[in-house]
Amino acid sequence: VSPDVFDIAIVGAGPAGATLARLLSARHRVLLVDRRNLAFDEPEPRFRKACGGLVAPDAQAMLARLGLGLPRTVLVGPQLFVVRTLDLASGLERDYQRFYFNVDRERFDRWLASLVPESVDRRFATELAGLQVEPEGYRLRLRDAHGVREVRTRVLVGADGARSKVRSWGIHAWPSPPREYLALQEWFEARTAPPWFSVVFDPRLTDFYAWTIPKGDAVLLGAALPPGPDARARFDLLKERLQGHGFDFGSRLRREAHPILRPLLLGGTPRLPRNLLLLGEAGGFISPSSAEGFSYAFKSALAAAEVLNEDLEAAAPRFARATAGLRLRLRIKNLKAPFMYHPVLRWTVMASGLKHLPRVQLP
Ligand X SMILES: Cc1cc2nc3c(=O)[nH]c(=O)nc-3n(C[C@H](O)[C@H](O)[C@H](O)COP(=O)(O)OP(=O)(O)OC[C@H]3O[C@@H](n4cnc5c(N)ncnc54)[C@H](O)[C@@H]3O)c2cc1C
- Contacts with ligand X, residue ranges (CB under 6 A): 11-17, 33-36, 47, 49-54, 56, 59, 127-128, 159-161, 165, 183, 185, 222, 258, 260, 280-282, 286, 291-294, 297
CA angle (306 as vertex; 301, 308 as ends), nearest 5:
90
Q: For ligand X, which is the closer residue by CB, 202 or 292?
A: 292
Is the Cβ of residue 68 or residue 92 nearer to ligand X in the bound state? 68
For residues 25-51, b (16+ Cβ closer than 10 Å) or e, as one string? Answer: eeebbbbbbbbbbbeeeeeebeeebbb
Q: Are 240 and 206 in contact, with CB atoms under 8 Å apart? A: no
CB of 1 to ligand X, least distance (A): 24
Burial of 268 (0-12, 13-18, 19+ CB in 10 A): middle
**In whole angstroms, what is the distance from residue 180 CA to residue 363 CA?**
46
Residues ≥6 apart with Cβ < 8 Å to 302 = 19, 23, 62, 65, 66
Stretch (H or E) spanning 57 = helix 57-65
CA–CA distance, 330 with 307 (Å, rounded to integer): 21
Residue 101 beta carbon to ligand X: minimum distance, rounded to whole angstroms? 10
**For ligand X, the closer CB: 87 or 186:** 186
Q: How far is the CB of 168 from ligand X (least distance, A)?
A: 10
CB of 183 to ligand X, least distance (A): 4
Asked whether the beta carbons of 270 and 176 are under 8 A apart, the reply is no
Q: Between residues 137 and 158, which has the closer beta carbon with respect to ligand X?
A: 158
Return the number of the residue (86 or 159) whose C-beta is nearest ligand X.
159
Q: What angle in degrees, to the nearest 10, is found between the helix axes of 57-65 and 294-310? A: 30
Residue 79 or residue 348: which is nearer to ligand X going by CB? 79
From the number of C-beta atoms within 10 Å of its C-beta (0-12, 13-18, 19+), residue 191 rates as: exposed
Nearer to ligand X, 41 or 351 (CB): 41
Min dist CB 260 to ligand X, Å, is 4
Q: What is the dihedral of CA 317, 323, 328, 334, to 10 degrees?
A: -110
How far apart (Å, rounded) are the C-alpha atoms in residues 222 and 239?
Answer: 10
Report the nearest approach of ligand X to the CB of residue 21 (Å): 11
- Provide, rounded to whole angstroms, the least separation between the CB of residue 144 and ligand X: 10
